[in-house]
Amino acid sequence: MIDATAVIHPSTIVEEGAVIGARVHIGPFCYIGANVEIGEGTVLKSHVVVNGHTRIGKDNIITQFASIGEVNQDLKYAGEPTRVEIGDRNSIRESVTIHRGTVQGGGVTRIGSDNLLMVNAHIAHDCVVGNRCIFANNATLGGHVTVDDFAIIGGMTAVHQFCIIGAHVMVGGCSGVAQDVPPYVIAQGNHATPFGINIEGLKRRGFDKEALHAIRAAYKLLYRSGRTLDEVKPEIEALAEKHAEVKPFYDFFARSTRGLIR
């Protein structure tokens, strides 16, 4: 079903069964598969492929040569009707690739809203990306990676399968992330190691001085005290009880499956 207000270039192929919402604009030489749903106000500039069981929300901008919902690169994939789900107001730039999920990984690759995916970024199968994240040029996620809200992944950075990137994290360019990065942390290098708290980013997002001091104290306990994680957990938990902003940092320990960067 194609809404009457949608504008579709005559060179574009829209397979029967696709749902194209109001005010969608699809430029030349795009391909839209039969199981695709595109929400109102979304723009596909040109030469964009959207395939598979893919749902794209409202007011996204997707530029040329992006490929969304295609067959993933997991050798276990056997053609199951797995999905891609994308929220609203994302900017998906040239040659970005977003692959459908796998049955073994939950069946869906999910991207939230208000994200910027720069040129040639790659989101592999079963990844979960939150809201207001930035992926710089050539940033790459392996399968099953989780990236929480407000994270920034630098250019030419690769994140290993199953890693978790916490909220408000900044990963510097040309890094290799092989373990989980707790919230608020700046990470850099191959393999990535911690370099302090993302203070400037947190200030821009409204964190006050008291919250910043508490987060910095938790960071120092984990990374500067010379003690093990088990040894510092009670003190970080006590900080989290006094300061809500520390709670995501403490809760991250239970979420981590690959161990924390050190």
Cis-peptide into 53, omega within 30 deg: no
Q: Which of 107, 109, 154, 147 is nearest to 130 (CA)?
A: 147
* Same-domain status, 136 and 225: no
Could you give the number of structural domains in the chain? 2
188 lies in a domain?
A: no
Q: Is the dihedral of CA 29, 35, 40, 42 positive or negative?
A: negative
The boundaries of the domain holding residue 241 are: 201-255
Domain finish residue from 98, 114, 144: 144
153 lies in a domain?
A: no
Q: In the annotation, is 125 catalytic?
A: yes
52's tokens: 């598979």
Check which CATH number belongs to the domain holding 111 and give it: 2.160.10.10
191 lies in a domain?
A: no
Looking at 33, 52, 143, 166, which residue is catalytic? Answer: 143
28 lies in a domain?
A: yes
Domain finish residue from 105, 128, 144: 144
Q: Which of 154, 97, 151, 106 is nearest to 129 (CA)?
A: 151
* Same-domain status, 216 and 132: no
Per-residue model confidence as pLDDT tens digits over 142-175: 999 999 999 999 999 999 999 999 999 999 999 9
The model's confidence at residue 234, banded by pLDDT at 50, 70 and 90, is very high
Integer Cα distance of 13 and 70 in angstroms: 16
Q: In the annotation, is 180 catalytic?
A: no
190 lies in a domain?
A: no
* Same-domain status, 225 and 134: no
Cα separations in angstroms, 120 against 82, 99, 116, 155: 23, 13, 12, 10
Burial of 123 from C-beta contacts in 10 A (0-12 / 13-18 / 19+)? buried
170 lies in a domain?
A: no
Per-residue model confidence as pLDDT tens digits over 21-77: 999 999 999 999 999 999 999 999 999 999 999 999 999 999 999 999 999 999 999
Please name the residue ranges forming H helices in the chain. Answer: 199-204, 209-223, 229-242, 247-255
181 lies in a domain?
A: no
Determine contact, residues 218/236, Cβ cutoff 8 Å: yes
Integer Cα distance of 142 and 131 in angstroms: 19
Q: In the annotation, is 259 catalytic?
A: no
Domain finish residue from 96, 126, 144: 144
Looking at 53, 99, 125, 168, which residue is catalytic? Answer: 125
Is the pTM here over 0.95, yes or no?
yes
Position 30, amino acid: C
| Residue carrying the six token digits 């809203």 | 113
Looking at 57, 69, 105, 126, which residue is catalytic? Answer: 126
State the helix-helix crossing angle for 247-255 and 229-242, rounded to 10 degrees: 140
pLDDT above 90 coverage of the chain, percent: 100
Check which CATH number belongs to the domain holding 215 and give it: 1.20.1180.10
* Same-domain status, 237 and 134: no
* Same-domain status, 63 and 131: yes
* Same-domain status, 13 and 138: yes
* Same-domain status, 138 and 212: no
* Same-domain status, 110 and 206: no
* Same-domain status, 108 and 14: yes
The model's confidence at residue 203, banded by pLDDT at 50, 70 and 90, is very high
Three-point CA angle 47, 53, 55, nearest 5°: 75
* Same-domain status, 138 and 220: no
Per-residue model confidence as pLDDT tens digits over 89-127: 999 999 999 999 999 999 999 999 999 999 999 999 999
Radius of gyration of the chain (CA): 20
* Same-domain status, 23 and 108: yes
3-state secondary structure of 214: helix
* Same-domain status, 125 and 44: yes
58 lies in a domain?
A: yes
